[in-house]
Structure 1
């Protein structure tokens, strides 16, 4: 399959460079969508639109069978590019610093190859070109229009610098963390700073709550289950001599095990209420789900590993630790079993060494053919099994 993909390598690289030059933020990928639609139409692939800028391509094989979904994300980031590549962003302040340009190009390459193999496909392949991964909104848009209806398995992938080009990571179990943003607001009674006993200050109790948070991690959570609770924003008061009526705290929480998530949620609510009661305050806790934890299906991971061996060669699937970063791919996994692969793009000679979201982010474009081939091989292997 890799040799076949090499015939289309220039097509894939050219698309990737075009997308890199013309990045668009989450939910605004209108030009990217236009190009994707045009390419799919050339291939005779059925198109269904979703959300603001998402596209579902539908390719039906020579007979009915199982359905597999392949996914690429398309959005860029609000970063000033300093990569130095000749095809740098033409849009000031916006950059493809996470490699979604590559993901989109690889899936279009896979669609092109598979469309030419239609008479060899015993089932249906859906191509998800998704907006808004960075805001954890795009997967839901695809699902809302029925994109996952009837899907039996799905595959997603992401380039990473821990692996050199030509290597891959596919492991079963938890691979990426879920993420919640938690907003805590303490309300007291304002007053003059000279007589704090006549008011109900919120800053001191809020400080106690922040200090107390890490006790939840150490005393309520099993040490075998990783969890990170970070306070990123703390705002209280209006003036030095005015007792603060309100103090607001924004917390980021990442986890793998959903049970740990529930324990932490309950504990945060409990601790906020207890501290508020102790200081005669009101406490409000609001939890905003950002992304679910990503769990690779055991059986599908074995199949994907076999597919990867056909593309990368034996011994190229390397073990990596779990990532505390988050993805919205798990929303697809709620509707069908799925697997998520990490592909290596590291190449020191090309300065392709930076982790995603870095202003000097680069990829080794040689990795594009591997991702394209893995999409194709996995789809064929799953449908023919």
Structure 2
């Protein structure tokens, strides 16, 4: 079997051109209809069968020449509402929408992997599934692929994301917790309105809500093990209608990031307990709603060992570098609930090309030299897993 990176280099122009087309024509989460059509056309050319899932997702299936296990590879396809200022020639033609998170690259690397593997299918034992996933930015796409049966019978899965923390040609595929889970928590205090000159005849909610906001950080420092990272941020505070009207309602929108699910439970209970205690102290009602946005991402220990070997074959010795854990979130962990999985961070940093910006920046751009590595890693990991 020839070197997989060489195979990726041989189709590098194909992957780059497809990525540039997607970059020029970005679509928001759940609206990736033209993106879906473009991917379907390419899959048709490759003779890889697929089915639609959710709004715009695709589940493509490549059956090998011999029976065996099933491995799933995932690439997200959605863009975000950012006005592009990257200066690239193939800048977004959709005003206010930009592939500022690199999902155009992820989808193109996955398509490149499908192209390589389709030419090797007789040698492959088992099955490879390709998830072209909508709505990662809204944490909705993975669930739709799972609901459509995408993970049925899957034994392992791989996802990846380009990051500027590593130079092009390096990768981070470390076992354990790698990305934070995310919850949005809505707290609503209800009191009794009245005139600002006689607050004792009313039940104000703004003052108790302010106490609650400052009290939240006490949960982080006093209820949570200091060695377990957690972030609680109040992003929205809404209360009152007029200066001389005692506010009947005050509402808070809170974002919480965590790694350990047990720590998450402790924080949830503490937030409810503190909100109720403060409401009781000021004779108010309070309602706490916790909305799960994403789960924490944990790279399977055993599978990470295999993936590290795949990385060495593609990137070379000593190129798998451990980055700090990210407090950002992903919906990849929903796949990991159904099969063991790993998630790779691929370096695209190149000072000369100014590919230095973190995702979601209006000047975000990638070093396209990293595309061949991601393409090859998809292929190498799939083959290594199926052939073990």
TM above 0.5:
yes
Listed as ranges, the matches of 1:261-276 within 5 Å are: 261-276=264-279
| Alignment partner, residue 97 of structure 2 | 94
Counterpart CA distance in 1 for 2:81 and 2:189 is 32
| Alignment partner, residue 279 of structure 1 | 282
From 372, 375, 379, the counterpart of 2:378:
375
Counterpart CA distance in 2 for 1:233 and 1:4 is 50
Is the contact between residue 66 and residue 123 of structure 2 (CA under 8 Å) also seen in structure 1?
Answer: no
From 40, 43, 55, the counterpart of 1:40:
43
Counterpart CA distance in 2 for 1:305 and 1:131 is 28
| Alignment partner, residue 226 of structure 2 | 223
Counterpart CA distance in 1 for 2:41 and 2:53 is 16
Listed as ranges, the matches of 1:111-190 within 5 Å are: 111-190=114-193
Counterpart CA distance in 2 for 1:205 and 1:2 is 60
Cα RMSD between the aligned structures?
Answer: 0.4
* Count, aligned residues: 385
Listed as ranges, the matches of 1:308-323 within 5 Å are: 308-323=311-326
For the residue of structure 2 that corresponds to 1:218, the secondary structure is helix
**How far off its partner does 1:269 sit?**
0.3
Counterpart CA distance in 2 for 1:41 and 1:267 is 53
For the residue of structure 2 that corresponds to 1:64, the secondary structure is strand
The two structures have a TM-score, normalised by structure 1, of 1.00
The two structures have a TM-score, normalised by structure 2, of 0.99
- Where structure 2 has 5 or more consecutive residues not aligned to the other structure, the ranges are none
From 186, 191, 195, the counterpart of 1:192:
195
Counterpart CA distance in 2 for 1:315 and 1:278 is 58
Counterpart CA distance in 2 for 1:45 and 1:36 is 11
After superposition, give the CA deviation of every residue in 1:65-112 in whole Å (9 maximum; x if it has no partner).
100000000000100000000000000000000000000000000000
| Alignment partner, residue 343 of structure 2 | 340
Regions of 4+ moved over 4 Å = none
**How far off its partner does 1:63 sit?**
1.6
| Alignment partner, residue 263 of structure 2 | 260
For the residue of structure 1 that corresponds to 2:183, the secondary structure is strand
Counterpart CA distance in 2 for 1:380 and 1:178 is 30
| Alignment partner, residue 11 of structure 2 | 8
For the residue of structure 2 that corresponds to 1:65, the secondary structure is strand
Counterpart CA distance in 1 for 2:262 and 2:80 is 32
| Alignment partner, residue 299 of structure 1 | 302
For the residue of structure 1 that corresponds to 2:122, the secondary structure is helix
